[in-house]
Amino acid sequence: MGRRYAIYDVFTEKRLEGNPLAVVFDAGDLSDVAMQAIAQEFSLSETVFIQRPGSASHSVRLRIFTPWHELPFAGHPTVGAAVALAEGLYGDAEKPLDLMQILEQKVGPVRAAVRLRPDSATFAEFDLPRKPSRLDARFDKQAIADALSLKATQIGFENHVISFWSAGVPFVMVPLHDVGAVAAVEFDPQRWERLAPLAEGRLAAAYLYCRGGINHMARFHARMFAPEMGISEDPATGAAVAALSGAIHLFDELVDGHHPILVEQGVEMGRPSFIHLHLDIAGGKIATARIGGHAVKIAEGELAV
């Protein structure tokens, strides 16, 4: 008897767009070595394994693997797993249904809300398990420009400068002048590996962003490169947007109140993705933050392992 799995396109309402995710169900008996091998076999940016939780108050336990190693937290596996679980239980619901899940991850318990609607892509959003924190690092602007095949003058806009953030996974945030500069990037992984800082036991990935987007609703346009994770480029990165929220709050000096922000990513890959970020600012600080998006099933089957 095989082990059930499904492939979801995440952060999109359209199949064959967004970020593909493999979801492996009933994975409690798989070893770490087996899960890593299966993630390598799928060869997607991430594969999520659903296991029984360690606490009765949690819905499930999630283990998240890139082709090269395990992650303590990631956005598109959180959204995709929440949607897959909800659709597995209530996918044929004829009336609108809202659910709440507690997804146990290595970063800690993550609360996710799921919105099921008949004849519509399912939407899920989660509270950030950790607020973004700025990490210490010094950067050579010209060296980063060389790693991106850009001019140093194309880095930065308004008061946004290169910064280093993590909300569970570390990213170097590189602001670029405009959408044209982002599209022109030719990423050199060898140069990046020589200059990227280490944090939380791993080499930081590169998250490039600018204001605006191809979609008129987007506030920011982005690309993500993570050679250390075995990801040449990622169509959508929720953990990076979680980290980006710190840079947005700092450099845009957000006032107290609610701030909905749409981030588009994956456009240059032909996999447009839309990540919904909601920030609540109180007393000049991030009080709460949520990330969400749609997900659609593209395939399902059984693993013979």
Backbone angles phi, psi at 44, to 5 degrees: -100, 170
41 given a catalytic annotation: no
Q: Rounded to an integer, what distance in angstroms lies between the CA atom of residue 157 and that of residue 209?
A: 10
Phi, psi of 106 (to 5 degrees): -65, -30
CA distances from 99 to 9, 59, 150, 293 (A): 20, 11, 45, 15
Residue that has been written with the tokens 């095949």 in this structure: 149
Cβ–Cβ contacts within 10 Å for residue 302, how many?
11
Question: What values do phi and psi take at 26, rounded to 5?
Answer: 50, 50
Which of 46, 125, 228, 233 is the catalytic position?
46
Under a CB-based contact definition with an 8 Å cutoff, are residues 205 and 225 in contact?
A: yes
Q: How far is CA 213 from CA 1, 210, 268, in A?
A: 47, 8, 12
Which positions are annotated as active-site residues? 46
